[in-house]
């Protein structure tokens, strides 16, 4: 058994272990820790503590984040992706699972199969592939970028969906943890159909340039983890994953690079843990 969290509700809780994330700036509220740090820093954690990762990394589509460059060359972006995915692999316990919310593809600055490339990148970092969930965001905005209008000369096709690609570390079957489930029969039937439909989140309402809706971590946490499992978000942003995990009686750890978003995640965590409303 790996050093660190056993996720079984009693034996060892990494949140209370002296030296965990030692020397790094973090904030604690209830069973949630938020680190103000860099997920690329291999030394951020020195043990295998993660049961479930739920995250949406920067998409490299030129979003105006405060602190990271979202306009890397595609090769540099894949290298960046490999590095954080490898760190997360090293920090996962043997039955760790990984829900990766990413675009299907990218049209700006050259057409790229981002979903396919990041799936391969995660596998190169050690993760085993399990499945892909299609998230239909209902984002049918009025379009002008047709490529060619009513002509076969150069049409552009855009699917208004994102992916949630699911991976695991060594074993898919979970034998660790509390074994306390909270997914209902209807939720289980519905969510194991791999096309999910719910709306995206408003940037303005949250005050972050790319938040995902609570529904996304809510479904992933209930479907793929037990109560008291440790849910990790290496790109915590406004703290959505952490808030949902805490409210679902999971433990939560997040990392955020930018000081403004770190403060936002702290504020939301204090304000929004204690109730599940979305």
What is the nearest approach in angstroms of ligand SAM to the Cβ of residue 198?
A: 14
Residue closer to ligand SAM by CB (options 36, 251) is: 36
CB atoms within 10 A of CB 231: 29
Residue closer to ligand SAM by CB (options 177, 245) is: 245
Residue closer to ligand SAM by CB (options 66, 179) is: 66
What is the nearest approach in angstroms of ligand SAM to the Cβ of residue 210?
A: 4
What is the nearest approach in angstroms of ligand SAM to the Cβ of residue 230?
A: 17
What is the nearest approach in angstroms of ligand SAM to the Cβ of residue 152?
A: 36
Both structure tokens of 88: 């997360």
Report the residue closest to ligand SAM, judged by CB: 237
What is the nearest approach in angstroms of ligand SAM to the Cβ of residue 159?
A: 19
What is the nearest approach in angstroms of ligand SAM to the Cβ of residue 153?
A: 35
Residue closer to ligand SAM by CB (options 177, 255) is: 255
Residue 183 CA from chain centroid, whole number: 19
Residue closer to ligand SAM by CB (options 96, 244) is: 244
246: left (phi over 0), alpha (psi -120 to 50) or beta: alpha
The whole-angstrom separation of Cα 127 and Cα 96 is 9
Residue closer to ligand SAM by CB (options 96, 257) is: 257
Both structure tokens of 251: 């433990």
Residue closer to ligand SAM by CB (options 7, 58) is: 58
The whole-angstrom separation of Cα 85 and Cα 266 is 24
Find all residues with CB under 8 Å of 253, minimum gap 6, and list them: 14, 15, 32, 33, 34, 35, 49, 50, 230, 231, 232, 233, 242
The whole-angstrom separation of Cα 88 and Cα 253 is 12
Find all residues with CB under 8 Å of 52, minimum gap 6, and list them: 96, 97, 98, 99, 220, 221, 224, 225, 229, 230, 231, 232, 250
What is the nearest approach in angstroms of ligand SAM to the Cβ of residue 176?
A: 26
Q: Which stretches of the chain bind ligand SAM, using CB under 6 A? A: 38-40, 56, 58, 65, 67-68, 208, 210-212, 235, 237-238, 240, 255-258, 261
Contact (Cβ atoms closer than 8 angstroms) between residue 181 and residue 226: yes
């Amino acid at each position: 058994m790996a050093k660190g969290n056993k996720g079984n509700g009693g034996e060892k809780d990494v949140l209370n272990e002296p030296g965990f994330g030692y020397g790094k700036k973090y904030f604690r509220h209830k069973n949630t820790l938020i680190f103000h740090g860099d997920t690329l820093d291999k030394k951020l954690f020195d043990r295998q503590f993660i049961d479930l990762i739920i995250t949406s990394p920067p998409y490299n589509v030129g979003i105006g984040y405060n602190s990271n460059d979202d306009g890397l060359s595609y090769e540099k972006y894949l290298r960046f992706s490999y590095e954080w995915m490898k760190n997360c692999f090293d920090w996962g316990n043997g039955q760790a699972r990984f829900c990766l919310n990413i675009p299907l593809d990218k049209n700006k600055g050259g057409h790229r199969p981002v979903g396919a490339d990041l799936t391969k990148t995660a596998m190169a970092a050690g993760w085993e592939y399990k499945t892909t969930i299609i998230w239909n965001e209902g984002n049918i905005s009025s379009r002008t970028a047709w490529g060619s209008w009513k002509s076969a000369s150069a049409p552009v096709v855009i699917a208004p969906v994102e992916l949630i690609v699911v991976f695991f570390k060594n074993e898919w079957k979970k034998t660790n943890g509390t074994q306390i489930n909270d997914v209902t029969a209807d939720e289980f039937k519905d969510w194991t159909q791999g096309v999910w439909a719910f709306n995206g989140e408003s940037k303005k309402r949250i005050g972050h340039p790319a938040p995902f809706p609570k529904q996304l971590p809510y479904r992933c946490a209930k479907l793929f983890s037990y109560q008291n499992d440790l849910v990790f978000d290496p790109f915590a942003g406004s703290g959505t994953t952490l808030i949902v995990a805490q409210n679902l009686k999971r433990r939560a750890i997040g990392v955020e690079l930018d000081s403004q978003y770190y403060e936002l995640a702290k504020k939301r965590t204090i304000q929004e843990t204690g109730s599940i409303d979305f």
